[in-house]
Amino acid sequence: MGFELRSAPSDLFTVSGTAEGLHRPDDEHVVQVEGHGVQLARLVRLLSVLLETSGGCTQPSWRTVVRAESWLDDILSATRPHTVLLSNDTSPLGVLAAHAAERHGANSVHVQHGAWTAESVAWPALHSRDIIVMGERDLALGRGWARHPEAEVHVLGQPRFDVLARIAVWACQPFNPDHLNSHADLLLDGLAEADGDWGLVIAPHPAQGADAFTALVKRDAGPPIAVADPRVGARGCLAGADVLASAYSTCGIEAALLGIPVLVRAERGASRLRPGWRPVWRCSGRGRP
């Protein structure tokens, strides 16, 4: 089996230009919106700017879309594929590719490439015929977002630790090894005694290397442990979290805004409570701590 790489034109996403029929002079056409008069001609000019100005692949100009569609049609006509694989069919170009595949009689397959949450996009829509999700937790979202009339959602596997029943994310600070190990021992002992099956995902501080947790990951007993890739941002780590634990990380604010319970390590002498992990806040459904 061979592979052939065909890149899009290098200037595709920089193409701007006029959109016919959109430039109109100011006129007397005004609509009232909650007591405000809005001139329709100004709305038309705003629309023309959005369609004419290229904002890259996430906001392509109208001319970019037309050229991209022509380029895709040429590729699909020449190769006549059975399947078109898409990593994102919610973006403008992804939607274009999914519908181009359908016109050419090819099956379109979307492969989930990142963590999903119900609030990740304002108007979620998946246009492919087959949708591959990482695990069972994404099955309902995939079915709810599918727009193809014959869409099917398939579970492939779960890199996001679906093997764990519940997930605690530990947002670390760059403490010395002894201090870090004391936090780990307390947290892992607590997870082992907690109701249900728990696993720990370690989110390293930017100043920490992955080798700081080598000994923890190799433990034979206790809850399963995984270390998040340093390239994964806070939102990615929190997407599958059931609780966040830390000493004083600002990730706690982000977790609270997502409605994830936050546990903070109470240091000896800093509180009248005995040292341990204690809940600090939890957001309501409306995002209020």
Per-residue pLDDT tens for 220-272?
A: 777 888 888 777 776 777 877 889 998 877 788 888 888 889 888 765 544 33
Strands 152-155 and 36-39: unpaired
Q: What is the 3-state secondary structure (H, E, C) of 265-283?
A: EECECCECCCCEEEEEECC
Q: Which of 201, 207, 199 is nearest to 173 (CA)?
A: 207
> Which runs of consecutive H residues, i.e. helices, occur in the chain?
40-52, 62-79, 92-103, 139-145, 177-193, 214-217, 234-238, 251-257
Please list the pLDDT of the chain residue by residue as tens digits (289 residues): 677 888 888 888 777 777 666 666 667 788 888 888 887 877 777 777 777 777 777 778 888 888 889 999 999 999 999 999 988 887 888 899 999 999 999 999 998 877 777 766 667 789 999 999 887 778 888 999 999 999 999 988 655 545 546 889 988 887 888 888 888 888 888 888 888 788 888 888 877 776 777 777 777 777 888 888 777 776 777 877 889 998 877 788 888 888 889 888 765 544 333 345 555 444 434 333 3
Tokens of 275: 């040292």
Measured between alpha carbons, how far is 154 from 67 in angstroms, rounded to an integer? Answer: 33
Report the predicted TM-score, pTM, of the whole model to 2 decimal places.
Answer: 0.51
